[in-house]
Amino acid sequence: MNLRTQLDFFHDAGPDVPALVAAGALFVVNHSGGKDSQAMLIRLIEQVPASNLLVVHASLGEVEWPGALELAQQQAEAAGLPFIVARAGKTFLELVQHRFERYPHAPSFPQAGNRQCTSDLKRGPIEREIRRYAKANGFTTIITCMGLRASESAGRAKALPWRLNQSGSVAGRTWYEWLPIHTLFTSEVFAIIREAGQVPHHAYALGNERLSCCFCIMASQNDLRNAALHRPELYAKYVALEESTGYTMHMSRKSLPELTGLSVRQAQRLHELNTP
Ligand code: SF4
């Protein structure tokens, strides 16, 4: 079967999922452990048979919120779906240190414009695992599903909900990327999780708006402060890296203590006071 155009299988209402299933496509759920991934998987399970689904989590190691991998794994396994962890050969902190040693006069932290962290730590390892799985299991049509939503940002609003992955569509393989919950609002995402009888990651109950790296280059001040209060040992590592490289992590170019309003010592102290 030769599937090679951007709009193959796509109609006004979205991709023709039954036709893709009939064509033997593999739907890969890119699951961060966050609310959007969780709601997306709930929705996909309603449309796609388990035999055509795979769940992949890109593990960020110590820099991601504890429990994110486990939530993704539990949700996948509860639905009887295969689950794969994709790991990069380096961590976020190693990536920054490496950039500093190689280019000491250029910003050491990934920039929001190119997001080397996303490509090196998530997209690359995930695509490698998908290629392996598809080859081992005879899938030649792949649909990577991601939980990006238009209401999250102007950039995400412009993202195409369905597109051909040109670079991945080689060697007899056709690869699409789909945003199944692109039109949903945050309240709808939480409603889907609640109505499915599931609970989102505990970081939301702690006040987080989003979930991935605890200290994301694009995170809100709210989420950065929350991470500093709940992961003070990791906060200390990021602050030390800002100090040793002379560059700031966040896209605002403000330092982490400026953004969180907390020194490392204050974060540690508040964490101790709030830990039973
Ligand atoms: S969550 Fe933020 S810091 Fe982490 S990999 Fe993604 S863009 Fe980079």
Quick one: pLDDT at residue 144? 97
Ligand 1 atom nearest to 63, measured from its CA: 4
Q: Is the CB of 141 under 6 A from ligand 1?
A: no
Tens digits of per-residue pLDDT, 168-219?
999 899 999 999 999 999 999 999 999 999 999 999 999 999 998 999 999 9
Quick one: pLDDT at residue 6? 57
Q: Is the CB of 68 under 6 A from ligand 1?
A: no
Quick one: pLDDT at residue 7? 60
Domain spans in the chain, listed from the N-terminal domain onward: 10-103+115-186, 214-276
Tens digits of per-residue pLDDT, 144-158?
999 999 999 898 999
Mean pLDDT across 46-57: 97
Write down the pTM of the prediction. 0.93
Q: Is the CB of 96 under 6 A from ligand 1?
A: no
Quick one: pLDDT at residue 8? 66
Mean pLDDT across 255-269: 98
Quick one: pLDDT at residue 276? 77
> Please, what's the b/e burial string for 241-267 (b: 16 or more CB within 10 A of its CB; e: otherwise)?
bbeebebbbbbeeebbbebbebebeeb
Report the separation in Å between the CA atom of 117 and the middle of ligand 1, taken as the mean of its atom positions. 6
Question: Could you tell me the two tokens for 99?
Answer: 């950039």
Mutation to probe ligand 1, out of 118, 148, 215 (largest number of atoms < 8 A from CB): 118
pLDDT interval class at 5 (50, 70, 90): low
In 3D space, the residue among 74, 72, 99, 98 whose CA is nearest the CA of residue 86 turns out to be: 72
CA distance 226 to 17: 39
pLDDT of residue 4 exceeding 70, the answer is no
Q: Residue of the nearest CA to atom 4 in ligand 1?
A: 213
Report the separation in Å between the CA atom of 213 and the middle of ligand 1, taken as the mean of its atom positions. 6
Report the separation in Å between the CA atom of 9 and the middle of ligand 1, taken as the mean of its atom positions. 31
Span 10-103+115-186: which CATH code? 3.40.50.620
Mutation to probe ligand 1, out of 217, 238, 241, 250 (largest number of atoms < 8 A from CB): 217
Q: Residue of the nearest CA to atom 2 in ligand 1?
A: 216
Question: Could you tell me the two tokens for 103?
Answer: 């280019």
